[in-house]
Amino acid sequence: MAKEIERRFKLKDDSWRGLVEGEWLKQGYLSVERERTVRVRIKGDDAWLTLKSNISNVSRHEFEYPIPLQDAETILAAMCPMLVEKKRYRIQRDGHLWEVDEFFGQNAGLVLAEIELNDESEAYVRPDWLGEEVTEDPRYTNAYLSKQAWPTWPENRSA
């Protein structure tokens, strides 16, 4: 059984930019519930079907299966009204891999960093560019962002 353990953070500045090149990801959701999500993701010429279920706010069961690119494109176009478009930057730092996601489309302007861990209590070094941890806030999951765009949240609306 696959298990994903990750922590999620806002970024406090852009000092991470320029460390690595990013790659475009497009993903859509067939099911978005707190207890489970079903996602299709395209990265370059590769595509996957991913199923996740909650264990805790930090851990999830995760099962990911490669699927044909053409199937993924059809599924996204025909069956996934909830989409997320982003550019992912993979930054190796102090023995851990950080993934910085810069969102576009309906979530343009949002940038988040994630770290995957082997254990919920595993220690890690926080890069200087990390801001507030938002792991416990389910609104910062890609699944939620596919349904409720970040700029529409009350605290992000202009007065």
pTM: 0.86
Helices (H), the chain: 69-79, 142-147
3-state secondary structure of 138: helix
SS3 content of the chain, % helix, strand, coil (to 5): 20, 50, 35
Tokens of residue 30, six digits: 């067939």
Which numeric CATH code is attached to 3-156? Answer: 2.40.320.10
C-alpha to C-alpha distance for 91 and 119, rounded to whole angstroms:
20
Going residue by residue through the chain (159 aa), what tens digit of pLDDT does each one get?
588 889 999 999 999 998 888 999 999 999 888 788 899 999 999 999 999 998 777 788 999 999 999 999 999 999 998 899 999 999 999 999 999 999 999 999 999 999 999 888 899 999 999 999 999 999 999 989 999 999 999 888 664
Active site amino acids: 29
